[in-house]
Amino acid sequence: MHDIEPHYRWRDRYIASEDKQNPFFGRTYDEFMFTQKIYNYYIHPQWDNFGSATLYIKILFVDYEKSFAIFEMMGEWNDAIQNDIMFLKRDVADELTQKGISKFIIICENVLNFHGSDELYYEEWFEDVNEESGWICFLNLFDHVEQEMRDMRIHHYASFGGYLNGVNWRTLAPKGVFKLVEQMLSEENRKYLPIDE
């Protein structure tokens, strides 16, 4: 797991630790010392801890003019025991929402498992951004993670699944990712989610 590094090709456009409005402003990283772990496995030092013992984040890009942020997540998303969504909502999303961010793209291809509890924080987050015509979107979920999220009814508050699981985002610039996702979510209310209810 220590080889899984957050996406770094946008660092010439944005670095979270250098953005005074970012919750991770001022963070320093030691590229030679591995101190953070998920269970017994060390992870790459560029990942940011936001309060969870098993889930880490990297804010890859924020555009305050267009009101969007792109996160990359890594680890086990555990709302049942760790209450990860509370930390993500309160300590990361709320900070950015207060700065005008209303559209969140969360890349989840390194989220290995999901354990849900309830949807209250997702609902609250959805209500916060929906007031500003915003949205929350999870990209590239594993099938079992998507199913667990669906079982917890999170699809009522965040978009995921369908075409959103096949986005080749690494080949695009951040604004290209945003434009693509926005188009997917807004085309005449077209749903990119499988209907399974």
- Using the structure block, give the residue that is written with the tokens 């369908």: 162
Give the pLDDT band of residue 197 (cuts 50, 70, 90). Answer: very low
Strand partners, 58: 72
pLDDT at position 1 is: 61
Please write the tens of the pLDDT for every residue from 5-46. 899 999 999 999 999 999 999 998 887 777 788 888 888 899
Question: Domain 16-189 carries which CATH code?
Answer: 3.30.750.24
Looking at the chain, list the stretches that DSSP marks H as alpha helix, in order from N- to C-terminal side. Answer: 84-88, 94-97, 120-130, 143-151, 174-186
Asked if residues 69 and 100 have their Cβ atoms less than 8 Å apart, the reply is no
pLDDT exceeds 80 at position 169:
yes
pLDDT exceeds 50 at position 195:
no
Q: Which residues contact 167 (CB under 8 A, 6 or more apart)?
A: 139, 140, 177, 180, 181
Please write the tens of the pLDDT for every residue from 42-90. 888 999 999 999 999 999 999 999 999 999 999 999 999 999 999 999 9
Asked if residues 177 and 13 have their Cβ atoms less than 8 Å apart, the reply is no
Please write the tens of the pLDDT for every residue from 92-151. 999 999 999 999 999 999 999 999 999 999 999 999 998 888 999 999 999 999 999 999
pLDDT at position 5 is: 86
Pairwise CA distance, residues 185 & 85, whole Å:
23
Pairwise CA distance, residues 102 & 94, whole Å:
10
Q: What is the pTM of this model?
A: 0.92
